[in-house]
A and B are shown apart, each in its own frame.
Chain A
């Protein structure tokens, strides 16, 4: 007997609650599936957590000597730098669907576009939040970063920054033509964004023109937001958070638009 699984039987009306439950079920299936894919290829994730941990220990003496708040700088700077590298995770997670020719298979399923994207994005978002949280905890426990007074502010800053990175990564995945190109864009972009934003060398020691140019880098705003959150300066967080949210929103809308329409025959290959 064939199942006509979409046909609503007259005896049982599909309520909004049922539809919501079905949607959650499909999203959870996609989340589970994407977590499996991530767990079976964990090298990238591990390196983006372990490398900054090692560098924090190695670079801390240098930063402490060079600037007043050296410990904060070494922890937040490397956190921002390696979280920007994680753009590559977001991008490649989406791009492999094109490489494996699986995205259209998902699009042909009953799950609408927003469910496919939610199922794809939630695990990456969790990975990004986890990466930043682990590095902050490590910074406090091992490097000597003072424990922030207001954990809520730190949590908000991590969520906002992860959202922006995720959106940028997703947008990149829809315009890059290959995994190699995506790798180059995200690596060079990460280095530019983080160093221009003051993640590697504190802005205070830069020439004035470079300090001005730093405003164009999302890394600058991320660093400013995170350092304000650690200080417990809620007001100082507002402007950077708004800028990063706006950037994330623009990139996110662009990515969603591209992904829900598929790559089609005009796909960039």
Chain B
């Protein structure tokens, strides 16, 4: 199929972000040590790992804030510094001007991204609704709640509808409203074709986003896949509460079969049964155990 020359496609199958063998050292600390990751347009990748695992360093390299000691990063075939307009970044920490209003923040970052007049106004109005900012557009960010500040920060990264989103713990410390608003917008943007790298410690968010998951440890991706692939083989749990409130807990890779077996063998009356399949929390915990050992 041929397209007119003015049409530029971002195909779903395209790799939008590609990081190969990144190494970054801070003195004796290896923040990244052979980190490689590919993210396709329209894909949400949840980057999970412990504090200090290297998530933020990766985000900073892709944002062109720092340079790797070795390795390469390309964004739609370009270097991070050449592709800065194509990236929307929300850093882990809040970075807002306390004496400037929410609307003025969006105007600034929109203008820096090249939006003008009606396009800028439309983008601001659109995001104000999506991130539930309409009521606070005229308020200075210094007087906003933590959740409102989080949403404002996210809006400044999303204002120009970039093809690549780097969201570094965007819901850290946020309330339920903020979290839901953020997840809705991320899903919407991914649905429109944006590639999203989403770092978080709230693992259920990744389930809701239907994100593929990359687990980072000691500056390296150690596991990559979808939810089912990663939790496959990890033990879930069966919990049986007997009539006299005695509790039986069994950790098992096949909770359903274990439950049937236990029910067949238990002669006492049962007041409650709970079956839990392996989750990302279990994956995370197993990594923690590995780390400790």
A26 adjacent to chain B (CB < 8 Å): yes
A5 to B161, CA, bound (A): 9
> Which of B95-103, B202-210, B227-235, B276-284 lies at the interface with chain A?
B95-103
Query: A-side interface residues toward B, CB under 8 Å?
Result: 1-7, 9-12, 22, 25-26, 29-30, 33, 36-37, 40-41, 100-102, 104-111, 262, 264-266
- The CA-CA distance from A36 to B8 in the complex, in Å, is 38
**B194 CB within 8 Å of chain A:** yes
Q: In the bound complex, how far is the Cα of B115 from the Cα of A9, in angstroms?
A: 16
Q: A2-B192, A107-B64, A108-B84 are in contact. List 8 more A-B contacts (CB 8 A).
A: A7-B76, A11-B6, A12-B6, A26-B112, A29-B107, A29-B108, A101-B95, A110-B85
Complex contact A22–B114 (CB within 8 A): yes
Q: For residue A262, which residues in chain B have a CB less than 8 angstroms away from its CB?
A: 65-66
Q: CA of A155 to CA of B151 in the docked complex: distance in angstroms? A: 47
CA distance A108 to B109 in the complex (A): 10
Nearest Cβ in chain A — how far from B120, in angstroms? 10
Cross-interface CB contact of B113 among A12, A37, A105, A109, cutoff 8 Å? A109
Chain B's interface size range is 35 or more
- B163 near A2: Cβ-Cβ < 8 Å: yes
Known: A5-B85, A11-B6. A25 touches B116 (CB 8 A): yes
Give every chain B residue within 8 A of A106 (Cβ-Cβ).
112
* Complex interface residues of chain B between 57 and 96 (CB less than 8 A to chain A): 60, 63-66, 76, 82-87, 89, 91, 93-96
**In the complex, chain A residues whose CB is within 8 Å of the CB of B85:** 5-6, 110
Query: Would you give the shortest CB distance from A115 to chain B, in whole angstroms?
Result: 9
**Closest A residue, CB atoms, query B119:** A3
User: Is there an interface contact between A2 and B89, defined as CB atoms closer than 8 Å?
Assistant: no
CB-CB < 8 A to B115: which residues of A? 5
B10 at the interface (CB under 8 A from A): yes
Q: Are A4 and B163 in contact (CB under 8 A)?
A: yes
Partner of B193, one of A2, A5, A33: A2
With known contacts A5-B86, A101-B94, A108-B89, A30–B112 Cβ distance under 8 A = yes
Show 20 residue pairs from A and B whose CB-CB distance is below 8 angstroms, ordered by the A residue: A2-B162, A2-B193, A2-B194, A6-B83, A11-B5, A25-B111, A30-B112, A40-B99, A40-B100, A41-B99, A100-B95, A104-B63, A104-B65, A106-B112, A108-B65, A108-B87, A109-B84, A110-B85, A110-B113, A265-B26
Q: Which 5 A-B residue pairs are closest in the complex by CB-CB distance?
A: A29-B111, A6-B85, A11-B6, A110-B85, A101-B95
Restricting to B103-137, which residues have a CB under 8 Å from any CB of A?
A: 104, 107-109, 111-116
CA–CA, A109 to B90, complex, Å? 11
In the complex, chain A residues whose CB is within 8 Å of the CB of B114: 5, 22, 25-26, 110
Kindly provide the distance from the CB of B149 to the nearest chain A CB, expressed in whole angstroms: 12
Are B99 and A105 closer than 8 Å at their CB atoms? no
Main SS class of interface, B = loop
Closest A-chain residue to B87, C-beta based? A108
Q: State A3–B88 Cα separation when bound (angstroms).
A: 12
A76 to chain B, nearest CB (A): 34
> Measured between C-beta atoms, what is the minimum distance from B163 to chain A in Å?
5
Given the interface pairs A2-B162, A6-B85, A22-B114, the reply to whether A37 lies near B91 with Cβ below 8 Å is no
Shortest CB distance B110–A (Å): 9
CA gap between A40 and B111 in the complex, in Å: 21
Inter-chain contact B95/A105, CB cutoff 8 Å:
yes
Q: How far is the CB of A179 from chain B (nearest CB, A)?
A: 14
Most buried by A among B91, B94, B95, B100: B95
CA distance A25 to B112 in the complex (A): 8
Contacts A100-B98, A107-B65 given; indicate if A26 touches B84 (C-beta within 8 A): no
Task: Find the A residue at minimum CB distance from B90.
Answer: A105
Check B160 for interface membership: any CB of A closer than 8 A: yes
Q: Does B36 contact A (CB under 8 A)?
A: no
Closest Cβ neighbor of B194 among chain A residues: A2
Are A4 and B94 in contact, with the CB atoms below 8 A?
no
Q: In whole Å, how far is A26's beta carbon from the nearest beta carbon of chain B?
A: 6
For the complex, give the distance between the alpha carbons of A101 and B97 in Å.
9
Distance in angstroms between the alpha carbons of A29 and B26 in the assembled complex: 35
Contacts of A7 in B (CB 8 A): 8, 76, 86
Report the minimal beta-carbon distance from B68 to chain A, rounded to whole angstroms: 13
**A interface footprint on B267-293 (CB within 8 Å = 1, 0 otherwise):** 000000000000000000000000000
Q: Which residues of B contact A4 (CB under 8 A)?
A: 8, 10, 76, 86, 163
B31 CB to closest chain A CB (Å) equals 9
Closest to B105 in A: A33
Instruction: State in angstroms the CA–CA spacing of A110 and B81 once bound together.
Output: 9
Closest to B94 in A: A101
A115: nearest chain-B partner, CB-CB: B112
- The contact of B6 among A5, A9, A22, A266, by CB within 8 Å, is A9
Which one of A3, A40, A106, A262 has the highest number of Cβ atoms from chain B below 10 Å of its Cβ? A3
Tell me, yes or no, whether B178 is within 8 Å of chain A by CB.
no
